Amino acid sequence: MHMLGYVNDSNFSALLENLVKSGYVEKKNGRYKISDPVLERVFREL
């Protein structure tokens, strides 16, 4: 499947894990949250 913006499940999981490892995202109680409040606000306003 080739769609613009499509990410399969395994790639999405790997990307999310990389964001956690780099500190941009944190995982707590099975949920993910953007660590930086400024980045979080920017993404919410997109």
Task: Please give the chain's pLDDT, 46 residues, in tens.
Answer: 566 788 899 999 999 999 999 999 999 999 999 999 999 999 899 8
Q: Structure tokens of 2?
A: 């080739």
Report pLDDT for 32.
Answer: 95
Contact assessment for residue 26 and residue 20, using Cβ atoms and an 8 Å cutoff:
yes
Report pLDDT for 1.
Answer: 55
Report pLDDT for 16.
Answer: 95
Q: Is the pTM of this model over 0.85?
A: no
Cα–Cα distance measured from residue 25 to residue 2, given in angstroms and rounded to the nearest whole number: 27
Strands (DSSP E) contained in 1-46 are 25-28, 31-34
